[in-house]
Structure 1
Amino acid sequence: MLTPIRKPIARAIAPVRALFVGDASAGVLLILVAAAAMLVANSPLAGAYEELFYGKLSWTPIAKLDDLHLWINDGLMAIFFFVVGLEVKRELICGQLSSPEQRRLPIMAAAAGMAVPALVYVGVIGGDAELLRGWAIPAATDIAFAMGVLGLLGSRVPASLRLFLLTVAIVDDIGAVLVIAAFYTANIKLMWLAIAAVVFGVMVAMNRFGVARIWPFVLVALVLWVCVLFTGIHATIAGVLAALTIPMRDTTGHSMLEKMEHGLAPWSAYLVVPIFGFANAGVNLSGMGIDEVLAPLPIAIAAGLVFGKQLGIFGIIFAAVKLGIAKAPENANWVEIWGITILCGIGFTMSLFISGLAFDGNRTFIDEAKIGILGGSLVSAILGYTVLRLTTKHPEERPVEPVTP
């Protein structure tokens, strides 16, 4: 038991402790990485930063990946998407998406949270056909970043809202993967697609016939990644496909999927995503004026993240609860739910990834997109944290205030 004097002190330092433990650490690391990338890109090291990631490699085992940036985005990020795929499969089989009742509200919220930001984006940019390719950039929510900000609030936020944010972000990732596969794919090479389909079939057969070792799945997954890379479909989709073939239980009754997820998740959160963030978040602002910063592209992305996410997610939750279609998160009031929907406007990893696909080869648009992503995510993080900090209470102070239809 904390003494009356120590209790306020413990509460005061809780946000500081949260920087190093729990859900906040991966998100805070991303914030620091993004800040470091911006500092380096606008320092005397800018040339070295550019050469490191975009300079042509003297040798590469795959000619198509001829610089470090491509190896990170097409190769290293396949691990991130593999972990996402494992998480999605686990949630669908035995987690928070395993029953229709549990899936209903997160799926509705994620769908609205992708559609409305896209509509806001399209509305802001008008009829510019070239910029239209970026419509999906503000549609994604960054799990680590959003959960990191939420982690800074400690126990003030009801567990039901934490779970809701995590579930919406997972469904959001599913939607983002489908969008990448459907809308950001170059000319498909049918021969490589057929080979990839055969390799994927082999992995499915390995699952069905009870292959109990991890290494065969890893080896065949690497082959699948190479095949998908040459199909014209983005190579990281191979990560998701491979994850879906991993057995939930092996012949000994142990969970191969959970073992792989637990083994890879820390590497993904603390190495893969930070490297990706550092390689992609740096924008050299020296040649940019106020016109570029306030150009239609960054404004459209920021508006989609800050306003579109709130309107879409909060609107669908409110409508679903009032119409009796779904139940609101337990022990949470409407203001707290609104605060969570604001945090859904933090779009970092997936948004940066999609911007690179949408404007491939156009560095001006990619840099403007980064400004919009970083600006919109920062505003969403600060606003969401402020709303939840001012309106939530610690468990011992909280009366039960269920949301009623």
Structure 2
Amino acid sequence: MDRTTRYKIRNNLNYILHHDATGGIIMIALTIIALVYQNSPYAFNYRKILEVKAGFVFGDYSLIKPILLWINDGLISLFFFSIGLELKHEFIEGHLSKPKNIALPAMAALGGILMPSLIFFLCNIGDDFALKGWAIPTATDTAFSLAILLFLGNKVPSSLKIFLLSLAIFDDIGAIVIIAIFYTAKLSVLALCFAVLSIIGLLCLNSFGVNRKSLYFIFGSLLWLSILKSGVHATLAGIITAFFIPLKKHDGSPLVMEIYDSCKVWIAIIILPLFAFANAGIDLSGITVNKLFSGVPVGIFLGLFLGKQIGVFLMSYICVKAGLSQMPEQATWKHIYGVCILTGVGFTMSMFVDGLAYWGSSVFAYADSFAIILASVFSGITGYIYLRYFADKQSYIFQNLIIPKIKTLKETGKKLRG
């Protein structure tokens, strides 16, 4: 193999790994593998792998957890760390640094939280245990929904990608607030004290303009350990650490985006797919019709598939009509509604909240998780078909039905005249 060929292969591989749709494709593949694996004769091996315990002991301190929890509490914290980095960049230097660009995605995200939670509440009213999962249908899986949007290519305006990403940022902020307030266990005062000390350490590093990534990693790790033991969910450590990292180095080169870019690929092709594989292995044999049509699964499905699109679109419409924001460039309300449908792809984020709400419970026999997958699949397919064929319906009919018919008639006329 000559140097030119190796260079082309390396460039093509690099392009594939850094493409925004790659992570979504890998997650879809591993989700299918997990489902097949769990419902095959090898299901025992699937669970056995996830239940293997690992950790470390340091004097009297020990941290031993199953691999499943290392993924859900540990690796996923890196995903939230990347969210924190993106939030900091967007609000200081990015698209959301301009006030006029904030109103539309912020209002849309708010609608995407309120309407699904209302639907879930109505489906489970009177059942206090079931209502613990009210936030499950409020989340959007950015990687999946963005991958679907990118598959459409030039069939939709490029401004829709910016709208979806901006909306997802506020959606993530909502998820962070919800997790911090509503899914916090009993608090350990001692662990919280250590967490505060770690935050003070990060604050000092930031105040003195320290650019060494290793020091932020050390204090961030200490913060993660402290929060893990405190009762607050450990993923918040990732967000907090990201906020204290300086936006730029001393020479003016970007630091936050440098770290974000280096993390992005690993999170997209390894961390999120691993999370999907570890949590999508649903035992379908235990799901009965009664279980599937009980309050929680129905609330999740309707909340994601209908609540998200209705809530996001309604608040977007109000925001634009009230003059608080402008429409994305070259986009119509049909385009906006298509993106609203895609926000119903909850998957990994909904699975994450589901795990927090009903951790250790087998009451629903995986019907809740299956409802998340069904709603995500329905939202993804419906959103794609709508944007591909109906968002610009007149243009589609003209280009694919009328023009071919006219050409056929012309050719027929020429043959008859000939």
Q: TM-score, normalised by structure 1?
A: 0.90
Paired residues of 1:125 and 1:300 also in contact (CA < 8 A): yes
Aligned pairs for 1:255-274 (under 5 A) are: 255-274=254-273
User: Which whole-Å CA distance do the structure 2 matches of 1:362 and 1:289 have between them?
Assistant: 17
Residue of structure 2 in register with 1:37 after alignment: 34
For 2:372, the equivalent position in structure 1 comes to: 373
Give the 3-state SS of the residue equivalent to 1:105 in structure 2: helix
Cα distance in 2, alignment partners of residues 21 and 192 from structure 1: 38
Distance of 1:126 and 1:32 partners within structure 2: 36
Q: 2:19 is aligned with what amino acid?
A: G
Q: How does 1:210-221 map to 2 (within 5 A)?
A: 210-221=209-220
How far did residue 22 of structure 1 move? 3.3
Could you say which residue in structure 1 is the equivalent of 2:100? 101
Q: Equivalent residue for 1:14?
A: none
Deviation digits for residues 188-223 of structure 1 (CA, Å, limit 9, x no counterpart): 111211210111111111011011211111111111
Secondary structure of the corresponding residue to residue 121 of structure 2? helix
Cα distance, 1:124 vs structure 2? 1.2
**What residue is the counterpart of 1:199 in the other structure?**
198
Q: 3-state SS of the aligned residue for 1:66?
A: strand
Letter in 2 for 1:318: Y
Of 50, 55, 63, 1:53 maps to 50
The CA distance in 2 between the partners of 1:173 and 1:365, in whole Å, is 26
| 1:167 paired to 2:166 | yes
For residues 261-312 of structure 1, the C-alpha deviation after alignment (integer angstroms, 9 at most, x for no partner) is 0101111111000001100011001122222222221111010001101111
Alignment partners' CA distance in 2, 1:196 and 1:21:
34
> What is the letter of the counterpart of residue 231 of structure 2?
G
Instruction: Count the aligned residue pairs.
Output: 380
* Structure 1: runs of 5 or more not aligned: 1-17, 400-405
What's the CA shift for 1:393? 6.0
Which residue is 2:285 aligned to? 286
Contact 2:338 2:387 in 1 (8 A): yes
Alignment of 1:5-404 (within 5 A): 22-55=19-52, 57=53, 60-61=56-57, 63=62, 65-365=64-364, 367-392=366-391
Gaps of 5+ in 2: 1-14, 399-418
Letter in 1 for 2:271: V
Over residues 99-136 of structure 1, what are the superposed CA-to-partner deviations in whole Å (9 max), with x where a residue is unaligned? Answer: 21111111111011111111111111221100100000
Distance 1:197 1:133 in 2: 29
Distance of 2:68 and 2:153 partners within structure 1: 36
Shift of residue 342 of structure 1?
0.2
Q: 1:223 is matched by which residue type in structure 2?
A: L
Q: Which TM-score applies when normalising by structure 2?
A: 0.87
- Aligned partners of 2:241, 2:192: CA distance in 1, in Å? 15
Q: Closer, same or farther in 2 for the Cα pair 1:63/1:291, shift >3 Å?
A: farther
Rg larger in structure: 2
Partner Cα distance (1:243, 1:173) in 2: 14
Query: What displacement does 1:256 show?
Result: 1.3
The 3-state SS of whatever aligns with 2:134 is: coil
Cα 1:240–1:365, aligned 2, differ >3 Å: closer, same or farther?
farther
Output one character per residue of 1:285-343: Cα deviation in whole Å (capped at 9) or x when no partner: 11222222222211110100011011111011112222222212121111111111000
Shift of 1:363: 3.0
CA distance, structure 2, for counterparts of residue 319 and residue 252 of structure 1:
44
Q: In structure 1, what is the Cα distance between the partners aligned to 2:256 and 2:324?
A: 33
State whether residues 17 and 269 of structure 2, in contact with CA within 8 Å, keep that contact through their aligned partners in structure 1. Answer: no
Secondary structure at 1:44 match in 2: coil
1:54 offset after TM fit, Å?
2.5
Supply the AA of the counterpart residue of 2:193: A
2:21 maps to a residue whose letter is A
Query: 1:365 is paired with a residue of what secondary structure?
Result: coil
Deviations, residues 16-40 of structure 1 (Å, cap 9, x unaligned): xx99883322112111111111111
Work out whether residues 356 and 366 of structure 1, in 8 Å CA contact, stay in contact via their aligned partners in 2.
Answer: no
Distance 1:135 1:151, change over 3 A: same
Provide closer, same or farther for how the CA distance between residues 63 and 357 of structure 1 changes in structure 2, counting only shifts above 3 A.
farther
